[in-house]
Every structure is written in structure tokens, then in C-alpha cells.
Structure 1
Amino acid sequence: MLELRNVNRIYETDGLRKQALKDITIKISSGDQIMILGASGSGKSTLLNIIGLLDKGYEGQYLIDGIERKTLTEKEQATLRSRLFGYVFQDFVLVENETIFENVRIPLIYSTIEKSKHKAMIETALEGVGLAGMSRKRVKYLSGGERQRVAIARALVNQPKIVIADEPTGSLDQITREQVLDIIYNYLDEDKILLFVTHDLENNRRGEQKIIDIKNGELFFD
């Protein structure tokens, strides 16, 4: 489904060049669950941002179902991003002054799904993360665990095929971490893909997922 061929990412700041990714080549198929390891600054988040259509400043090829990303218009990429990907981040990335409902609704706004279906989809997503009946509560009044549940509901509301999780349990206590992991792993099936960045493989891994280590922008396969 996803294929990167000789992908490089170079950042330039004040005339200085930093190569974040070096000749990345990888194929990711339906059903793959991949744990991504690496020190801070190794290129993990850069890789996820390229795969998740959040960063287009790379060199090389990125194919989605055989289609080169760079041949797609901005509108086509936005539609693909909202339909195909669900993102869960360590720092939640929620709109503090908005309600849970409005936060979970964000991916639907950019989708082609009829507005008449949004409410039911949001309620289903919130029920799935244990937040049924809380849609009108504002995010700023939530605990850290509740915020991550909102972030997961937002990520899954579109029923995406690819879940991108960037340290989703890094700031959570043990009990909440297990609850969050239950939600993520229970969502997966043989057709869905999980890309999970973590510094704590032992406590976040379930089963025999593939392991990738990123060191100085290069991929190493376990």
C-alpha cells in the first residue's frame, strides 16, 4: 500500500543543511504493525510526517497504492489525508477552548462525508474511547488521559486504514497507558496499518510487530 523509494529530507536553516532522513526505502502493506525506535532527533517524526502527508519537502518517491504523491494536487492530498490516515500524538494537539465534539469533528470537516452523518460518527468514536455523553465538555477541563482519549477518537472517527501514533503514551501513567493501548490495538484488523513511535518498546508492544530502528536518519530493520 505504501512505498518509499530513496527518500531524503534535508532542512536548511540560516545557510546550514541538516539531513534528517537518508535514502529511506521501505514497503508497508495492509496488516503491518510497525514499532519505530530511535533517539530524539533521529528522524522518527520526520518519517511519520512524510508518510502521513504532512511534509512534502522531501526528495525521492513516495507511492500510495502505486500513485506517486507528488502527482496529486493539494486538494487531492488533503482528501486522501483525511480518508486514509488517523494521527495520535504525545502532546494531543487539541483545541483547548473548543468542546470534545468540535475537536473530534476536525477530520470530518475536511472529508467528503456528508455533514448529516457527522454527529453519529462522532458519538460512535467517543463511545469507543469511553467518553460517551461528554461531547459538550471543553477540552481545557479534561485530564491528560481524557485528552488522549479525545485525540484517539479524533484519529479514528473516519475509520482510517492507517493509524500513525507518535509516542501516544509517553506522558500517561501506567493504568491510562494500558487503556489507551487497548483502544488502539482493538481497532486494528488484518487490513489496517499501525505505525507506532516509542521509546518504550517493552510497555507499548503487543504481539510480534515488526521493529524499525532509526539512527541518524537511516533505517535499520530488526
Structure 2
Amino acid sequence: MSWRPTNHDRRGSSSSRSGRTEPSLLNPTLLILIGAALVLGLVGVGLIVVFGGGMGQQATTAMPPQPVAATLPPAPTATTVPTATPAPTVAARSRATQATAAPVSAAEAGPVETTGDAAAGAVLFAALPSEAIAVGGINCNICHNIAPGSGTLVGPSLSGIGATAASRQPDLSAAQYLRVSIINPNAYLVDGFAAGTMPAVYQQQQGLTPAQIEDLVAYMLTLP
């Protein structure tokens, strides 16, 4: 005898099938995972915004300043190199400038001729007495050349001064001009020479005596 389910059994079976709970698509575990992922995503975005902005600000702050063009010092100006003053020519040495001191008196100019000793004057020219040196005088040959055709040393060359001195001042003889040049060296200046170059101490106390000055004048008149 075969067994067949009755209709009751079929209905019961259907009922039990229809009463079975279908599994939900929104599993709670899945929902939790999705929620966690969303939360982590939001947190990550927030961190990117916060730290990304801070890093950008730090990068802006830490950016080295743009180099400023260095200010170059001004180019050095050309230095003018002093040139040596050429020695006055014979023609220039034969001219005297205007008087730079008080006019020379007749007493100061002295006699037209000299009575000095040229040999004694030659000794004085090379080596003045210690008394004259003590008051600021110096030996004549330190500043004046005497060799024929020589040029300037410190003062003008005295080569041929006996001939040229006579033409320096029309109212003075050669001896008078040389005498004045020793005792009052700033009275007349040769072109190219400044006042005060020659010491004005040779007629002062303990300088040169009048006789010694005449000896120097007599010696200079003999220079070729």
C-alpha cells in the first residue's frame, strides 16, 4: 500500500514553508561594517582637512624668503696719481714772480756788489755752522744743484745763477738779488716754487753772520 500525503499534510507542509523566516538582506553585521567604514571615511577626510591645511600653512611659513638682489658697492672712482712736477726750464728760472712778502728795502738789498770770499762761501754751501743748523737752517747743497745744466732738486738749480740773477728784478743787481734770496727767501719766488720752501732763518740770531752771507753770495756768483 502506497503512502500519499493527505491534503492536510500538504497544507501543513505548505504552512510550514510559508511560515519560515527569510534571511534579511540587511544583516546587522553588514550594517555595522558599513557604518564603521563611513565613520572612518569621515574621520579620514577630517584629518586630511585639518593636517593638510596645517602642513600647507607650515610649508608657507617655512618657505625661504626670496633672495634680494645684493646691493653692490659703488665702483671705486679712479684715483688721480700725482705726476711729478717738471723742473722749471731755464727761461722759467730766469723769471721771478711778484713779491710775496713786504717790499725789499734798500738796506735789506745791501750794496750792489759783494765783498765776500767765494772760497769761504763754497765751504759754507756744503756745511753750514752748527749754530745755523740749530735754528732750523739746512745745508745749501741739500736743496740746490750746482752742476752745469742740472735741474731742480728741492729748490731751483743754481747753475749759472750769477748770470740769471741779474735779470730777475730790474732794480736789483745779481748780488743784491742773491742776498735778498738768502735773508728773505719769500720776497721773490721763482715760477713753480711755493713760499715757505726755503727756511727763513739764516739772518736770525745764531744763524749766519752778515760776513757769511756775503761769502755765500760771492760763491754763487762764480757758479758756471
TM range (shorter): under 0.3
TM-score by length of 2: 0.21
Bigger strand share: 1
Q: Which has the larger radius of gyration?
A: 2
Bigger helix share: 2
Task: Identify the structure with bigger relative contact order (alpha carbons < 8 Å, sequence gap 6+).
Answer: 1
TM-score by length of 1: 0.21
